Amino acid sequence: MLPPVLAGYHEATKHTPERLRASRHFLDWANMPSPFRHYEGAPLVDLPADPPLAPFLAGAEALSALFYYSCSISATKQAPSGYRYALRVNPSSGNLHPTEFHFQSRGLSGWQDGLYHYRPSSHSAERRARGDVLGGLSEAPLAVILTSIFWREAWKYRARAYRYVNLDLGHAMLAVQYAAGALGWPSRVRGVFDDARLAAALRLAEDEQPMLLVELWPQAETGPPENVVWTPGRPNRLSQEAIEYPLIARMHAATLACPETLDPPPPRVVRWVHGDYAALARRRRSALDFLLEGRLMPRQAFETILALLEEPLAADWGGPFVTAFLFIHSVEGLAPGLYRLKRGALRRIREGDQRVIAAALSLGQDLAGNSCFTAGFVADFGRAAARFGDRAYRFLHHEAGALGHRLYLAAEAFGFRATGIGAFYDDHVHAWLGLHPQGPLQVVYHFAAGDPVSDPRLAPEV
Ligand SMILES: Cc1cc2nc3c(=O)[nH]c(=O)nc-3n(C[C@H](O)[C@H](O)[C@H](O)COP(=O)(O)O)c2cc1C
């Protein structure tokens, strides 16, 4: 039995052709929330430009590298109107970027202890407070707090947005961990904490919720805590009007409780080992579409990807709760078909070409059929909710987002490209995979990888 709020929210936000046809939603461009939060009036601390990413950097250079290779602006795209907009190292559904990055530092050499907010628009840090605002909430010398502004995503995706913000967070947490790993720093992720205490400690704006704590262990020499002194920074307003989505508010409220307190896992260095992480992170992009007659994916690259899908996360909720079904279209040595990945082994559950059905299930998006393969990530709601109640909803999506992040980097490393797909007809997917529509296994994310078409609107950041 699933907790009623989780089951209710998830059912109510399933895509069906009927719901999409009945929708009268239009995008209110005049009220689009700004993708950038700024703390107006907070002192800006420069982060050195174009930092290297290497072990044993310290101070501003190390912090610059951490954010440059996890969440900074890495390219721009031109809209048909001529307007150029920013793309970042971390992907985001609809490029709406609901995730914000705050950090508390303690005892880092050459860097003033305090609470900062990362400002991607100018790759700098806004100092929000001096001293240690987290107190006992984290022991790590560097704690990156990932928050989310649901309204940014709900502006476009309405009630379904709560799924997307949690997927985005899974991408973001792993991006931070890989950048930290390249700096030689151990890390771990905590998804269980007292949300109200953390939000109060950070003095977050009402539209921003704390969602994950990514704890990092750079070299540090912590002395006695300094008194906290807040700077005058005030969060900017993101749009004229923020529209309430009661389904999201109820779902989020239900996730605030967690039946279990957890011992966080020991920190470990989470390293990307398939190529130069710095280059891949900056180059990672979503493909617009894939070439139907493109290159076959070599078997070795595909096998590496399968192994990455089963590597555990360094997160306190443990898992794994997510497994992959794979619509295989053009992978060397594998017959097209629908496969299930379980404990390292692929089992074919449907034979024959899956291109048309994969695209149809992904809300008719061609890229899911033109790829080399498209993954359907299915989460075990039953097992996760039995431990974590409604809070499990966050973790299942974080885990799927993190797996997607590995796929993005791996595809790029092997000369292909990938795209996350948050839009699919949930219960049609279940029917095709042989899963009960209201059963404990539910699809949470689709992900396509293949030989990309070129994207003429894209320009790298210079
Ligand atoms: C959770 C999630 C869901 C996404 N869903 C879709 C989708 O359904 N269709 C699509 O074409 N792109 C999708 N994307 C890709 C985003 O549109 C893309 O990440 C964003 O435009 C930023 O571009 P970038 O990844 O190149 O930085 C998704 C990305 C994420 C992280």
Minimum-distance ligand 1 atom for the alpha carbon of 164: 1
Q: What is residue 116's three-state secondary structure?
A: strand
Q: Is the pLDDT of residue 460 over 80?
A: no
- The backbone region for 83, taken as left when phi is positive above 0, alpha when psi lies in -120 to 50, beta otherwise, is beta
Average pLDDT over residues 299-312: 97
Q: Pull the structure tokens for residue 51.
A: 């930092």
Ligand 1: centre distance to CA 217 (Å): 31
Which of 419, 429, 446, 447 has most ligand 1 atoms within 8 Å of CB, for mutation?
A: 419
Closest protein CA for atom 6 of ligand 1: 421
pLDDT at 326: 98
Closest protein CA for atom 29 of ligand 1: 93
**pLDDT-wise least confident of 147-156, 252-261, 413-422:** 252-261
Ligand 1: centre distance to CA 447 (Å): 10
Q: What is residue 3's three-state secondary structure?
A: coil
Instruction: Calculate the alpha carbon distances from 108 to 57, 70, 75, 223, 237 in Å.
Output: 11, 19, 30, 10, 32
Which of 146, 289, 421 has most ligand 1 atoms within 8 Å of CB, for mutation?
A: 421
The answer, yes or no, to whether any atom of ligand 1 lies below 6 A from the CB of 218, is no
Closest protein CA for atom 17 of ligand 1: 94
Average pLDDT over residues 143-157: 98
How does DSSP classify residue 137? G
Q: Is the pLDDT of residue 61 over 70?
A: yes
Q: Count of CB atoms within 10 A of residue 303's CB?
A: 14
Q: Is the pLDDT of residue 270 over 60?
A: yes
Ligand 1: centre distance to CA 183 (Å): 27
Distance CA 332, CA 335 (A): 8
pLDDT at 461: 64
CA 276 vs. chain centroid, Å, equals 21
The answer, yes or no, to whether any atom of ligand 1 lies below 6 A from the CB of 281, is no
Of 112, 110, 109, 90, nearest to 99 (Cα)?
A: 90
Q: What is residue 75's three-state secondary structure?
A: strand
CATH code assigned to 286-460: 3.40.109.10
Q: What is residue 165's three-state secondary structure?
A: helix
Average pLDDT over residues 292-301: 97
Distance CA 187, CA 185 (A): 6
Could you tell me which residues come within 8 angstroms of residue 179 by beta carbon, excluding any fewer than 6 positions away? 53, 65, 66, 67, 68, 69, 70, 277, 281
Q: Are 278 and 74 in contact (CB under 8 A)?
A: no
The answer, yes or no, to whether any atom of ligand 1 lies below 6 A from the CB of 422, is yes
Q: Pull the structure tokens for residue 418.
A: 């990938």
Q: What is residue 17's three-state secondary structure?
A: helix
Distance CA 300, CA 314 (A): 26
The answer, yes or no, to whether any atom of ligand 1 lies below 6 A from the CB of 93, is yes
Which tens digits make up the pLDDT trace of 156-191?
999 999 999 999 999 999 999 999 999 999 999 999
Closest protein CA for atom 10 of ligand 1: 421
How does DSSP classify residue 228? P
Distance CA 270, CA 185 (A): 8
Of 47, 45, 50, nearest to 64 (Cα)?
A: 47
Q: What is residue 33's three-state secondary structure?
A: coil
Handedness of CA 438, 440, 441, 442 (dihedral sign): positive
Number of residues that make up the chain: 462
* Helices and strands, number each (H, E), in the chain: 14, 19
Mean pLDDT of the chain: 96
Burial class (CB in 10 A: 0-12, 13-18, 19+), 46: exposed
What are the DSSP calls for 232-287, one per residue? --EEPP-SS-PPP-HHHHHHHHHHT--S---PPPPPB-----SS-HHHHHHH--B-
**Sheet containing 84-88: order of strands:** 84-88, 73-78, 458-460
Minimum-distance ligand 1 atom for the alpha carbon of 458: 26
Q: Is the pLDDT of residue 462 over 60?
A: no
Start-to-end CA distance of the chain, whole Å, equals: 52
The answer, yes or no, to whether any atom of ligand 1 lies below 6 A from the CB of 370, is no
Ligand 1: centre distance to CA 94 (Å): 6
Q: Pull the structure tokens for residue 364.
A: 């008719």
What type of residue is 381? F
Ligand 1: centre distance to CA 419 (Å): 6
The answer, yes or no, to whether any atom of ligand 1 lies below 6 A from the CB of 286, is yes
Of 296, 319, 294, 297, nearest to 309 (Cα)?
A: 319
Ligand 1: centre distance to CA 341 (Å): 24
Minimum-distance ligand 1 atom for the alpha carbon of 363: 8
CATH code assigned to 32-255: 3.40.109.10
Ramachandran angles phi, psi of 387, nearest 5°: -90, -40
Percent of the chain with pLDDT over 70: 99
The answer, yes or no, to whether any atom of ligand 1 lies below 6 A from the CB of 285, is yes
pLDDT at 405: 98
Average pLDDT over residues 110-125: 97
Q: Are 214 and 187 in contact (CB under 8 A)?
A: yes
Distance CA 186, CA 401 (A): 21
Distance CA 227, CA 152 (A): 34
Distance CA 355, CA 269 (A): 39
Minimum-distance ligand 1 atom for the alpha carbon of 285: 26
The ranges of the chain annotated as CATH 3.40.109.10 are 32-255, 286-460
